[in-house]
């Protein structure tokens, strides 16, 4: 299958592109390389060294004999999007190309507006380009489990049957997102669902949980193929952060009570889910939602799992910098990808041990000042010092 | 009460500003005057002549002795928004300042992106300015009944109690908007609800139905105080359009079967609802939704009401240029404003007769070429000739 991976230079986009290439798909990467600029703006860097995109792609070609095309440009540039789709003529587009950090979106007004405009306009441009170039293109879009928030009822996969005053309908599951980033994903979901109804496009919206891990079958082949590992408080995800904190002897930073429960998954399962979505496309006009996670954990439980593996590791309950429920009901359906054949990598002590070993090899690259949270949801300006420079 | 009316130069914003001024409130108008530019872009004009904002405000001062301040600027300019709130120090902000036409948003990609960025970023800038200048400011935001779409269950006012697998929660009512404009309002609603949860702001989201009529108590005092009357297929609302069509002998343009049912209200009730919302503010942190309409009509029934009053009037069923259900269940709650004291002006033959007489006085200003729909939901470019010039 001919596939474009948008955001193919990022944490998940890069290993996804390699996986699809390894499985015999014809792969093109579209990226504006902005993820690397966020690092410069925040004054942080991936724990694991990563190569520039050109070097990565060349290394993959040398190791595998497989060519991955690259298109450098911005989804905000509608002409670029349309030209790229026309040139690549993909059967499917996997869309990771969004600003993906909740804390980044909550730094201040400029970062909130940037996040929503970047994500919403990029996706709008993509929807128009698909409608114009080839409405049959399957849009596989990365959403987030955070779109749902934490309702007091079971979360279903995108839609829920509601019976009300004697009548019934299947309606979009109500959304209660908890940051301007999560809101941008809710806006995208509504825009995509409409485009499927209106123009007959086909799309799979993958409401992904929190991803952990770093190595995949393909990235493990050579250090030049490594994907990024974020441990800072803005872009790092919770388990990857706890692992780094444990290695460098920093207390594990649990926000508030730690009862915040989220769906999570291994990076290798992200890749498997995306390939399953691609191989089983929806019908023309269909907008479907898969909840893409394999297990739910509370933040407190995760911290204890890590602490149990590392002698001397301590847990510190910080004032929660986010506005969120610190303990709540949480049960979310996630059967659709299992029905398509997903065989999950559940969280194991073995995986955590391998992550601990990986981080230990790069422990000299850890900047301790990047670990504690710096963005406060309750403020309209979180002062990050001279580093936060988005206009 | 000290109130800012954003979009106070528009169809509803202007008479709202006058009403609030007449009732003794201290009123400021904020507007970028872009509504008049849309007319130029589309090559159309208000049926009823309207004065420029400066002339209108001067006429009001001469007639009433009351001063209305004006702030000319764009909500896209965050510094302007913050400066204006700081200078005016309002207790409440009534926010009409959005691109409000569904067909305009569906002209092409550029108009869709413009509509979403204009509306969403303007509202984001406003939310940040309120949070920074004075979180107690009551934001009265104009939404639309079109946010809900046409579900097969009763529509409630913003929220619905859902019982699911033995548990219950009150959650945002699911949204199924039918254009990029309606989507922009859904995005706003989510952003506003979050800002109330996150920063403790207070807001009333008025999901307004389709407005008809033109004269209000204050605008009727002098022709210099008139508000606009749109009859074109892009900005005109359905009943006002049918009245013009009947007067000039154009068949009444019913889209498809005409079973599309919508909540509607008299322009005078818009003004009353807004004052009721202002006088009964929500608590700090509360986000509430009122469905702001007084009666539901199908498009076909409305056309028959008009045709019954005008001898010789004909009804023409056009292919529906929109993607929508042409006949469907529709029942929407609208008790919250009644509970606050709204005394509706229900649609009467007398009101329609007065609208017919008003239009007849200006019939020489009707451009017949503006009447038929020009924007096709199913296309990604509706070619409006040289007039559609938004970049």
Size of interface A-B (CB pairs under 8 A): 147
Report yes or no: B225 and B236 within 8 Å, Cβ to Cβ.
Answer: no
pLDDT at A365 > cutoff 70: yes
> Is residue B388 one of the residues assigned to a domain?
no
Query: How confident is the model at residue A385, as a pLDDT?
Result: 54
Q: Is residue A144 flagged as an active site residue?
A: yes
Q: Considering chain B, what is the average pLDDT of its residues?
A: 97
Look at the alpha carbons of B22, B28, B31, B36 in this order and tell me if their dihedral is positive or negative: positive
Give the active site residues of B.
144, 181, 185
User: To the nearest 10°, the Cα dihedral for A348, A350, A352, A358?
Assistant: -150
Inside any domain, residue A20: yes
d(CA B278, CA B268): 16
Q: What angle do CA B184, B376, B142 make, to 5 degrees?
A: 25
What integer pLDDT is reported at residue A75 of this predicted model? 98
- The answer to the question of residue A386 being in a domain is no
* Alpha helix stretches (DSSP H) within chain A: 13-22, 34-42, 53-64, 78-88, 102-105, 109-133, 180-199, 238-248, 267-279, 299-309, 336-339, 349-361
Q: What is the mean pLDDT of residues A81-108?
A: 98
- Nearest chain B Cα distance for residue A317, angstroms: 21
| Strand arrangement, sheet containing A210-212 | A210-212, A261-266, A295-298
Secondary structure (DSSP) of B58-102: HHHHHHH---EEEEE--TT-HHHHHHHHHHH--SEEEE--S---H
A63 Cβ partners below 8 Å, 6+ apart? Answer: A221, A222, A225
* A319 lies within 8 A of chain B by CB: no
Give dist(CA B288, CA A368) in Å, integer: 44
Residue of B nearest to A106 (CA): B198
Contact B117 A112 (CB under 8 A): no
Strand partners, B254: B317
**What are the chain B neighbours of A168 within 8 Å (beta carbons)?**
152-153
Give the gap in angstroms from C-alpha A236 to the nearest C-alpha of chain B.
Answer: 22
DSSP B321: S
Evaluate whether A151 touches A162 at the Cβ level (below 8 Å). no
Nearest to B73 by CA among B51, B100, B53: B53
Interface test with A, best of B122, B143, B162 (most A CBs within 10 A): B162
Distance CA A330, CA B66 (A): 56
A194–B177 C-beta distance less than 8 A: yes
Residues 156-185 (A) with a CB less than 8 A from some CB of B: 160, 162-165, 167-169, 171-180, 183
Four-residue CA torsion sign, B215, B219, B224, B230: negative
B253 closest CA partner among B358, B333, B370, B342: B370
**pLDDT-based confidence at residue B387 (cuts at 50, 70, 90):** very low
Which residues form the domain of A129? 2-376
- Is residue A389, in this structure, part of any structural domain at all? no
* Residues on chain A touching B160 (C-beta within 8 angstroms): 162, 164, 174
Q: Based on the number of CB atoms within 10 Å of its own CB, is B343 exposed (0-12), middle (13-18) or buried (19 or more)?
A: exposed
CB distance A109–B125 less than 8 Å?
yes
Do the beta carbons of residue B239 and residue B247 sit within 8 Å?
no
The 3 state secondary structure assigned to A130-163 is HHHHCCCCEEEEEEEHHHCCCCCCCECCCEEEEE
Considering Cα of B180, then B185, then B191, then B193, what sign does the dihedral take?
negative
pLDDT tens string A175-210: 999 999 999 999 999 999 999 999 999 999 999 999
Report DSSP state, residue B311: T
pLDDT of A136 strictly over 50: yes
Alpha-helical segments (H) within B177-293: 180-199, 238-248, 267-279
Residue A390 forms part of a structural domain: no
- Cα(B264)–Cα(B271) distance, rounded to whole angstroms? 14
The pLDDT of residue A305: 98
- Residue B383 pLDDT: 74
- Euclidean distance between CA atoms A56 and B44, whole angstroms: 55
Q: Is the pLDDT of residue B388 over 90?
A: no
Supply the DSSP symbol for A225: G
Residue partners of B130: CB distance under 8 A and separation at least 6: B85, B93, B137, B139, B201
Q: Is the pLDDT of residue B302 over 90?
A: yes
Return the SS3 of A107: coil
Predicted local confidence at residue B384, as pLDDT: 74
In angstroms, rounded to a whole number, what is the distance separating the alpha carbons of residues A135 and B143? 31
* pLDDT digits 0-9 by tens, B57-80: 999 999 999 999 999 999 999 999
| Tokens, residue A280 | 């089983």
User: CA–CA separation, A324 vs B202, rounded Å?
Assistant: 18
Beta bridge partners of B316: B253
A246 located within any domain: yes
* Residue B330 · residue B150 · CB < 8 Å: yes
Ordered alpha helix ranges (H), B134-179? none
Q: Tokens representing B229? A: 């009357």
Catalytic entry in A104, A114, A148, A181: A181
Do A234 and A105 contact (CB within 8 A), yes or no? Answer: no
B143 and A CB contact within 8 Å: no
* Averaged pLDDT score across all residues of chain A: 97
In angstroms, rounded to a whole number, what is the distance separating the alpha carbons of residues B362 and B346?
A: 25
What is the reported pLDDT for A390?
A: 54
Classify strands B261-266 and B210-212 as parallel, antiparallel or unpaired.
parallel
* Mutation choice for A interface testing from B79, B182, B191 by most A CBs within 10 A: B191
**The pLDDT value given to residue B385:** 54
Closest CB from A113, A116, A380 relative to B131: A380
Decide if A46 contacts A56 (C-beta within 8 A): no
State residue A162 phi and psi, 5-degree precision.
-115, 125
Spatial contact of A98 and A7, defined as CB atoms under 8 Å apart? yes
d(CA A189, CA A287): 9
Confidence band, pLDDT 50/70/90 cuts, at residue A386 = very low
| B359 membership: H or E segment, kind and range | helix B349-361
Q: What is the CATH number of the domain that holds A320?
A: 3.40.50.720
pLDDT per position as a tens digit, B183-224: 999 999 999 999 999 999 999 999 999 999 999 999 999 999
Q: How many CB atoms lie within 10 A of CB B52?
A: 11
Contact A168, A122 (CB under 8 A): no
pLDDT given for residue A387 in this prediction = 47
Domain count of chain B?
Answer: 1
Strands of B138-144's sheet in order across = B68-72, B26-31, B2-6, B92-95, B138-144, B202-208, B287-292
Q: Count of alpha carbons within 13 Å of A346, Cβ hemisphere only?
A: 4
Torsion sign across C-alpha atoms B222, B227, B232, B237:
negative
Let me know: does A173 contact B174? Beta carbons within 8 Å: yes
3-state secondary structure of A206: strand
| pLDDT tens string A147-185 | 999 999 999 999 999 999 999 999 999 999 999 999 999
A237, burial (CB in 10 Å: exposed 0-12, middle 13-18, buried 19+): buried
Report the percent of chain B where pLDDT is more than 90: 98
Considering the domain boundaries, does residue A150 fall inside one? yes
| Residues in chain B, overall count | 391
- In this complex, is the C-beta atom of A284 within 8 Å of any C-beta atom belonging to chain B? no
Residue A383 is assigned to a structural domain of this protein = no
pLDDT at A383 (0 to 100)? 75
């Amino acid at each position: 299958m001919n596939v474009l991976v948008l955001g193919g230079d990022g944490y998940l986009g890069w290993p996804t592109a390699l996986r699809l290439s390894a499985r015999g798909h014809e792969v093109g990467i579209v990226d504006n390389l902005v993820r690397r600029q966020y690092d410069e703006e925040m004054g942080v860097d991936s724990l694991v060294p990563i190569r520039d995109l050109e070097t990565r792609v060349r290394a993959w070609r040398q190791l595998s004999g497989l060519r991955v095309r690259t298109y450098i440009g911005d989804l905000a540039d509608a002409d670029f999007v349309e030209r790229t789709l026309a040139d690549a003529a993909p059967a499917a587009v996997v869309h990771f190309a969004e600003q993906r950090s909740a804390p980044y979106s909550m730094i201040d007004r400029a970062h909130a507006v940037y996040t929503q405009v970047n994500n919403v306009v990029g996706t709008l441009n993509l929807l128009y380009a698909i409608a114009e170039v080839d409405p049959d293109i399957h849009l596989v879009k990365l959403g987030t489990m955070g779109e749902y928030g934490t309702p007091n009822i079971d979360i279903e996969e995108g839609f829920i049957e509601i019976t009300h005053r004697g009548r019934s309908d299947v309606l979009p599951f109500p959304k209660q997102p908890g940051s301007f980033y999560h809101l941008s994903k809710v806006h995208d979901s509504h825009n995509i669902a409409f485009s499927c109804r209106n123009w007959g496009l086909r799309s799979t919206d993958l409401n992904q949980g929190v991803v952990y891990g770093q190595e995949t079958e393909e990235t493990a082949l050579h250090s030049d193929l490594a994907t990024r590992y974020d441990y800072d408080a803005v872009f790092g995800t919770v388990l990857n952060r706890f692992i780094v904190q444990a290695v460098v002897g920093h207390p594990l930073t649990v926000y508030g009570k730690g009862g915040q429960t989220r769906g999570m998954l291994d990076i290798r399962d992200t890749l498997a889910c995306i390939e399953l979505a691609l191989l089983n496309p929806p019908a023309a006009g269909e907008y479907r939602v898969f909840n893409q996670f394999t297990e739910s954990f509370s933040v407190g439980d995760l911290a204890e799992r890590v602490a149990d593996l590392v002698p001397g590791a301590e847990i510190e309950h910080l004032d929660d910098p986010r506005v969120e429920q610190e303990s709540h009901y949480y049960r979310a359906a996630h059967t659709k990808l299992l029905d398509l054949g997903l065989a999950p990598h559940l969280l194991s002590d073995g995986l955590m041990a391998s992550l601990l070993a990986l981080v230990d090899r790069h422990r000299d690259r850890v900047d301790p000042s990047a670990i504690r949270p710096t963005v406060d949801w309750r403020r309209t300006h979180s002062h990050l010092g001279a580093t936060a420079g988005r206009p």
